[in-house]
Chains A and B, each alone.
Chain A
């Protein structure tokens, strides 16, 4: 990973020094080794804090809504999954593509520090990755964890490849793997209605309505969200009843259906660890089943199943009656 970071840093320096770009969007060092923050770098001097490591899970594409409107070109480092969000935002005319220079960077999954802390004791001192082993040193000793168990939920079933790039920095190829991203959705589908309701009630009742899922979501790019708009009639800052949160989350899931690229940021940022990505993934699975396989963000143009009509489209009543194949 260090070699990739060096290469990225070198490229960022060149781009800034030559004046080809006005700024570079990447990650900068946090207070610890596991908490980098998205940042824009406008000078070579600022790059001293640049970092790219196992904890750079944040999706930088949404920042480009603002950045691409600034003076001069913006270079951005995008991981495979981030490029889908990027394409989707370009398609929705939210990002000015001509103002962005995309550097595709490799990603061999990103780690989840909270999962690592749960599986270890003491204060975490360092984390190193060797193939599938995550070696953790804490004040209590050394641990070897199995990497697939401590990656971000979005990385656990990822097989994505870069869908947008002006150049790439890939030093290690990620091996193809056999994963089924709908496995968790299938488990929920196999439940009885009551079990499923109990599952979501348990999860969504934890919601503190902080809006982190919405604000981080690249598909939630409305200038004014209905939930923030006092004239919408549904503006709300808190739940009135114990389970009103389903309204917020289900409306949000419907709103991003067909546009959600499954970037998984909603689940990464949720302070209560609600597996919000499963709502979106259910919609993705249903769209695949009803309209044929479709992946939002694969391209930055073209028609999409839910925004175009064909005579062969499934009738809503058939979906409702369970007659859809």
Chain B
């Protein structure tokens, strides 16, 4: 394990950025989101929850996929993809790192989404263990240890230092690049911090939510539960929860006419939107209750039943913080998840 004094972190970031693009929590116009590190930016790696998760780096909110040119009855399809150069994604928390697993199971399953795959393969992920958590955090419920995230490199931070440990070959290579800035040490400090943070996490209000009822065999019962009406009553039908969510993966594909042919692009979509399931025959979900139910059934029942029990919620708590009317997955879990929630 290595360490570097916090005052020298900018040197560390610069050193990485000299070698490959670096993306990390950056404060812009008052809010912290993942962005490119460059001269003059305000980094904010200590921010517990960026507004948007780092999923943009693999699955951008909006992305051009291909171009078409038509001449008479001929259509030329132009592949506009380029080779993705290696990049570093820095400061990823344990919940957001676990979310990448959830996305992988969707985008890397057959047929492989090559747009996503190329970015995943190009990434070197440096995670950051949590030391200050919030009451809206509940990653523990999903078996995530916020104090020991994996990734190519794991880092920890305390008052004075950042500690650094490579986990993979990619991580070792990155370590070699910044080696001159690092000193040995940190095992004792990291262990102490992990224990202290775990004790706080154990006491968080949502750390012991009961998920036992969310099983494939209960699908019909859960789907038909009376409580959905009441739980969704105040829902505005906006996309905030889906767009700040690190695991939401739905997208829409559209064509855009330009002066130089047609561009096909995809962009994030939200099951909360009224036209989400609009098809030629009409819309199979006509009420906000049905849309609301879909989102949580997907995360807690449908996805796990197709992916060996893995839930597609990682307990980051962004939806808990950001829903304009304070509806969220915790309320759903408490209402339908099992008897230990009472």
Q: How far is the CA of A212 from the CA of B322 in the complex (A)?
A: 10
- Answer yes or no: A216 CB below 8 A from chain B CBs: yes
Minimum CB–CB distance from B329 to chain A (whole Å) comes to 11
- Residue from the list B33, B205, B238, B275 in contact with A206, Cβ < 8 A: B33
Is the beta-carbon distance between A272 and B51 smaller than 8 angstroms? Answer: yes
Is the beta-carbon distance between B265 and A36 smaller than 8 angstroms? Answer: no
Is the beta-carbon distance between A31 and B330 smaller than 8 angstroms? Answer: yes
Is the beta-carbon distance between B62 and A271 smaller than 8 angstroms? Answer: no
With known contacts A206-B29, A216-B324, A238–B267 Cβ distance under 8 A? yes
Chain A residues near B58: list those with CB within 8 A.
none
- Answer yes or no: A11 CB below 8 A from chain B CBs: no
Is the beta-carbon distance between B28 and A237 smaller than 8 angstroms? Answer: no
Chain A residues near B327: list those with CB within 8 A.
37
With known contacts A32-B135, A40-B233, A206–B326 Cβ distance under 8 A? no
> Which stretch from B16-24, B239-247, B302-310 is at the chain A interface?
B239-247
- Answer yes or no: B134 CB below 8 A from chain A CBs: yes
With known contacts A40-B233, A123-B135, A202-B28, A237–B324 Cβ distance under 8 A? no
- Answer yes or no: A124 CB below 8 A from chain B CBs: yes
- Answer yes or no: A208 CB below 8 A from chain B CBs: yes
- Answer yes or no: B223 CB below 8 A from chain A CBs: no
Minimum CB–CB distance from B259 to chain A (whole Å) comes to 14
Chain A residues near B326: list those with CB within 8 A.
30-31, 35-37
- Answer yes or no: A144 CB below 8 A from chain B CBs: no
- Answer yes or no: A100 CB below 8 A from chain B CBs: no
Is the beta-carbon distance between B29 and A31 smaller than 8 angstroms? Answer: no
Is the beta-carbon distance between A212 and B265 smaller than 8 angstroms? Answer: no
Chain A residues near B31: list those with CB within 8 A.
206, 272-273
- Chain A stretch 175-234: residues in CB contact (< 8 A) with chain B: 202-203, 205-206, 208-212, 214-216, 228, 230
Interface string of B159-180 (1 = CB under 8 A from A): 0000000000000000000000
Give how many A residues have a beta carbon under 8 Å from the other chain's beta carbons. 38
- Chain B stretch 173-199: residues in CB contact (< 8 A) with chain A: none
- Answer yes or no: A281 CB below 8 A from chain B CBs: no
Q: How far is the CA of A123 from the CA of B267 in the complex (A)?
A: 36
Minimum CB–CB distance from A46 to chain B (whole Å) comes to 9
With known contacts A58-B325, A273-B30, A237–B240 Cβ distance under 8 A? no
Interface string of B317-342 (1 = CB under 8 A from A): 00011101111101100000000000
- Answer yes or no: A269 CB below 8 A from chain B CBs: yes
Chain B residues near A216: list those with CB within 8 A.
236, 238, 324
Minimum CB–CB distance from A22 to chain B (whole Å) comes to 15
Q: How far is the CA of A37 from the CA of B235 in the complex (A)?
A: 10
Is the beta-carbon distance between B324 and A269 smaller than 8 angstroms? Answer: yes
Chain A residues near B133: list those with CB within 8 A.
123
- Chain B stretch 31-59: residues in CB contact (< 8 A) with chain A: 31, 33, 51-52
- Answer yes or no: B296 CB below 8 A from chain A CBs: no
Is the beta-carbon distance between A228 and B325 smaller than 8 angstroms? Answer: no
Residue of B nearest to A228 (CB): B275
Is the beta-carbon distance between A31 and B233 smaller than 8 angstroms? Answer: no
- Chain A stretch 9-46: residues in CB contact (< 8 A) with chain B: 30-32, 35-40
Is the beta-carbon distance between B62 and A239 smaller than 8 angstroms? Answer: yes
Is the beta-carbon distance between B28 and A206 smaller than 8 angstroms? Answer: yes
- Residue from the list B51, B135, B252, B328 in contact with A237, Cβ < 8 A: B252
Residue of B nearest to A268 (CB): B324
With known contacts A37-B234, A202-B28, A206-B29, A230–B275 Cβ distance under 8 A? yes
- Residue from the list A58, A124, A208, A238 in contact with B52, Cβ < 8 A: A208
With known contacts A237-B268, A273-B31, A124–B240 Cβ distance under 8 A? no
Minimum CB–CB distance from B317 to chain A (whole Å) comes to 10
With known contacts A228-B273, A269-B324, A124–B265 Cβ distance under 8 A? no
Q: How far is the CA of A214 from the CA of B240 in the complex (A)?
A: 12
Is the beta-carbon distance between A238 and B135 smaller than 8 angstroms? Answer: no
Chain B residues near A271: list those with CB within 8 A.
51, 240, 243-244, 322
Q: How far is the CA of A209 from the CA of B322 in the complex (A)?
A: 14
- Answer yes or no: A71 CB below 8 A from chain B CBs: no
Q: How far is the CA of A30 from the CA of B28 in the complex (A)?
A: 31
10 residue pairs, one from A and one from B, having the closest CB atoms: A238-B267, A269-B324, A238-B62, A212-B238, A35-B326, A215-B236, A202-B29, A210-B239, A210-B240, A38-B234
Task: Supply 11 A–B pairs (Cβ within 8 Å), ascending by A.
Answer: A38-B234, A123-B135, A202-B29, A208-B52, A209-B243, A210-B244, A211-B239, A228-B273, A237-B268, A271-B240, A271-B243
Q: Besides the contacts A35-B320, A205-B29, what 18 more A-B pairs have beta carbons closer than 8 Å?
A: A31-B320, A31-B331, A39-B234, A208-B51, A208-B52, A208-B243, A209-B61, A210-B240, A210-B242, A212-B238, A212-B239, A212-B324, A216-B238, A216-B324, A237-B273, A238-B62, A269-B240, A271-B243
B contact set with A: CB distance below 8 Å? 28-31, 33, 51-52, 61-62, 133-135, 205-206, 233-234, 236-240, 242-244, 252, 254, 256, 265, 267-270, 273-275, 320-322, 324-328, 330-331
A contact set with B: CB distance below 8 Å? 30-32, 35-40, 58, 63, 114, 123-124, 202-203, 205-206, 208-212, 214-216, 228, 230, 237-240, 268-269, 271-274
